[in-house]
Amino acid sequence: MAQKIPLVDLKAQYAAIQQDIDTAIQQVIGSTAFIMGPEVRSFEEAFATFCGSPYCVGVASGTAALELVLRAGGVGPDHEVITAAHTFIATAEAISAVGARPVFVDIDPRTYNLDPDAVAAAVTPATRAILPVHIYGQPADMDRINAIAKTHGLLVVEDAAQAHGATWNGHCAGTLGDAACFSFYPGKNLGAYGDAGAVTTADARLAEQVRLLRNHGRHSKYLHEMKGFGERMDTLQAAVLLAKLRHLQRWTAARRRLAARYTEQLASLELETPYVDARANPAWHLYVIRTPQREALQTFLQERGIGVGVHYPVPLHLQPAYTDLGYRRGELPVTEAVADTCLSLPLFPEMTDAQQDYVVEQIRLFLEG
Ligand SMILES: *Cc1c(COP(=O)(O)O)cnc(C)c1O
């Protein structure tokens, strides 16, 4: 009988830490401090320490983190923000939400992250920010991106939604630009039991602005310094995240070991395994291979109980939601080629070697059979 191996296994993770999670949730329910309870600040402090960032502000989602930090950074109408089209749509939606224009540029064919040459070529007088995505958990080339930003006086906001604990030159995602945005969507490397997100930054003013914006522009209950939003992190989610954060380093180590094991075992097969920049230590949110037979391999593995995914099948410049920007197929050839050939294999910290061996064996059967 075919095994069942999901793309991510949140049940296995809960089973391993159930006592901690249940205690944390009960504590919040008992206190009834559901909004901005003490766990929110405790999580912010713990996550700031984890990243090595001076400030962390908890918000309602990764999407909210992106939108609020762009607002706090003064990005608005008539501004352009350079970003990737090979990402989840929230990256660009946040740019649109503040009234700015996403400018999509192509990616590096090896890392699938923003191509710094393409970024440099896309800068105009209207450019206000660069929004690199650390796709699949590997940091973008922050050396070049920060250098370009410095030359032109641009804000750099990391989309670190997939990169908790990833490093670049030994520094954690979350400390590599002016500010960074994290998602704690349940399936992310650090996942809440619902929506949650955070902004990290070393800029006290930016942190303070995000703090105000997330909570109706206020410091005290009915005095509002500015027009803000209801985008706070729930206390319940903060409690879950605080309990889980204690395990994140170990989980990341497990992902790294499994990723190395995939790369080793798949090396002799006719497909492309992930390339890792020498300056990067990825967090391996996803392990993504490439093959021109993507559709057939995807079906073959699914029929054998293996949960595979495609991240992402339609690049943002070709999404119906973004036809107004006027992009055409062919304008971002690397992005389009990756979208057509990428396949995400099961990867989660609790995955056993036997489960992984089964995945590899089925891929081998497909390619050699
Ligand atoms: C998950 C994700 C987001 C959005 O985060 P949410 O918490 O779901 O709002 C943004 N960018 C990227 C790259 C993501 O993977």
Domain borders along the chain are: 10-245, 248-367
| Residue 65 alpha carbon to ligand 1 centre in Å | 9
pLDDT digits (tens, 9 = 90+) for 123-150: 999 999 999 999 999 999 999 999 999 9
CA of 183 to the centre of ligand 1 (A): 5
pLDDT digits (tens, 9 = 90+) for 76-86: 999 999 999 99
Place 369 in a pLDDT band, splitting at 50, 70 and 90.
Answer: confident
- Which run of H or E residues covers position 106? none
Secondary structure element (H or E) that encloses residue 123, with its range: none
Pocket test for ligand 1, best of 7, 59, 63, 133 (most atoms within 8 A of CB): 63
Residue 266 CA to ligand 1 center (angstroms) comes to: 29
Give the whole-angstrom CA distance, residue 154 versus residue 169: 22
Q: Which helix (H) or strand (E) holds 307?
A: none
Mean pLDDT in the chain?
97
Distance CA 259, CA 254 (A): 9
Q: How far apart are the first and last CA of the chain?
A: 19
Q: Is the CB of 252 under 6 A from ligand 1?
A: no
Kindly state the percentage of the chain with pLDDT values over 70: 99
| 230-279 confidence digits (pLDDT tens) | 999 999 999 999 999 999 999 999 999 999 999 999 999 999 999 999 99
- Quick check: 243 and 24 in contact, CB under 8 A? yes
CA of 37 to the centre of ligand 1 (A): 24
Instruction: Express as a percent the part of the chain with pLDDT over 90.
Output: 98
Task: Identify the architecture of domain 10-245 in CATH.
Answer: 3-Layer(aba) Sandwich (3.40)
Ligand 1 pocket test target in 91, 104, 114, 183 with most atoms within 8 Å of CB: 183
Residue 256's contacts (CB-CB under 8 Å, 6 or more residues apart) are 281, 282, 284
pLDDT for 176-199, tens place per residue? 999 999 999 999 999 999 999 999
Q: Judge whether 134 and 166 are in contact, CB under 8 Å.
A: yes
pLDDT recorded at residue 112: 98
- What distance in Å separates the CA atoms of residue 21 and residue 10, rounded to the nearest whole number? 13
Contact (Cβ atoms closer than 8 angstroms) between residue 81 and residue 130 = yes
Cβ contact 319:227 at 8 Å: no
H or E stretch covering 263: helix 248-266
CA distance 110 to 334: 10
Q: Which residue owns the Cα nearest ligand 1 atom 14?
A: 161
Could you tell me where the beta strands, DSSP code E, fall in the chain? 55-59, 80-84, 101-105, 127-131, 155-159, 167-168, 171-172, 179-183, 197-201, 218-220, 223-224, 280-281, 287-290, 342-345
Predicted confidence (pLDDT) at residue 349 exceeds the cutoff of 50? yes
62 CB less than 6 Å from ligand 1? yes
Q: 284 — alpha (psi -120 to 50), left (phi > 0) or beta?
A: left
Is the pLDDT assigned to residue 1 strictly greater than 60?
Answer: no
Q: What is the pTM of this model?
A: 0.98
Q: Which of 83, 112, 185 to mutate to test the pocket of ligand 1 (most atoms within 8 A of CB)?
A: 185
Q: What is the CATH number of domain 248-367?
A: 3.90.1150.10
Which pLDDT score, from 0 to 100, does residue 3 have? 72
